[in-house]
Amino acid sequence: MHHFMKYIHIIIFVFLVITTWNNSYNPFLDDSSKQQEWMETIKQEDPLYQEIKSRSEQYNKPPQDAYIDRVWKKTPGRNGLKVNIGKSYEEMKENQEFDENKLVFDQVKPKVSLESLPASPIYRGHPEKNMVALMINVSWGTEYIPDILKILKKNNVRATFFLEGKWAKEHAEYTKMIAKEGHLIGNHAYNHPNMARMTNQQITDQIAKTNEIIEAITEQKPAYFAPPSGSFSDQVVDIADHLQMETILWTVDTIDWKKPSVSVMMNRVMTNIHPGATILMHPTPSVARGLDSLIKSIKSKDYKLGTLDKLLSTER
């Protein structure tokens, strides 16, 4: 059958060459759209094209909407997959046989996005997304920032740095460097207060003032807010939402401020890591010493490392 189809294709090809070559015989020369239509008809009548079309349904995956989980709160959705029949046919036509490894997919966005959900904290990415995000909260430990940036650059990894406003103002050069090297910068309040115990006005001041500082230095307004020590209230989440920001927490903690050995810290992360994980760390000696090994271990488990916006996107 396959050999027969190959001959059919050769005959059609020869016919096209002759008709295109012989101007007087070519009824399509002056009408390229008719020629395209005709080519399209030939393609769609090809049994291989028909087979891809009929089998595509079993490979399609519906998109998943963003939702609010009882435990994990706001959870991003995930794009669906739909077979692109035309492009898949182009990939397979040379061998004239169906090959699922050559299927080409288009991504289909979900109807409900993260942004359209009510205010609620975010702890993680989609639970089936094989990506994790390193989140580095900075209000001290400046001396470890150069080493951390070097390690990230060497491993071609982008992290998310949540900067305290006061720190960013005092270390504008480092803040610029972090942004310039492609890392994402988030807001970590102005001077590390307990946000859960503040008035609405104080909460607003802490977040807005930090945004202004970071935006003045990097020309980018942060979209994510990480409350210091993970201390927050409904008011904090609502005010951040009003400022068009998401409140971010974490699912995996290095507990690096307790100065663990590298092996203890690595073990802590690697036994708790999961698809969509957010990994909390600070500029500490444990991270400066262990980050290189940690990145390699995470990659060896087939996880991609990306900034928070990539982790929370619906892209597969």
Superfamily of 119-312 according to CATH: Glycoside hydrolase/deacetylase (3.20.20.370)
| Cα distance between residue 190 and residue 213, in whole Å | 9
Residue 31's pLDDT band (cuts 50, 70, 90):
low
What is the percentage of the chain residues whose pLDDT exceeds 70? 90
* Mean pLDDT computed over 47-63: 94
What is the percentage of the chain residues whose pLDDT exceeds 90? 84
Better-scored residue on pLDDT, 232 or 43: 232
pLDDT above 80 (res 289): yes
pLDDT digit string, tens, across residues 69-81: 999 999 999 999 9
pLDDT digit string, tens, across residues 179-195: 999 999 999 999 999 99
Model confidence, pTM: 0.84
Average the pLDDT over each of 9-13, 82-86, 294-298 and give the range with the smallest value: 9-13
Burial of 10 from C-beta contacts in 10 A (0-12 / 13-18 / 19+): exposed
Question: How high is the pLDDT of residue 35?
Answer: 75
For the chain, domain boundaries? 2-115, 119-312
Pull the structure tokens for residue 10: 């050769």
* Mean pLDDT computed over 237-246: 98
Better-scored residue on pLDDT, 45 or 176: 176
Question: How high is the pLDDT of residue 6?
Answer: 55
pLDDT digit string, tens, across residues 152-172: 999 999 999 999 999 999 999
* Mean pLDDT computed over 218-234: 97
Distances (CA, A) of 39 to 3, 12, 45, 210: 21, 10, 10, 60
pLDDT digit string, tens, across residues 230-240: 999 999 999 99
pLDDT above 90 (res 300): yes
Question: How high is the pLDDT of residue 154?
Answer: 98
Mean pLDDT of the chain: 92
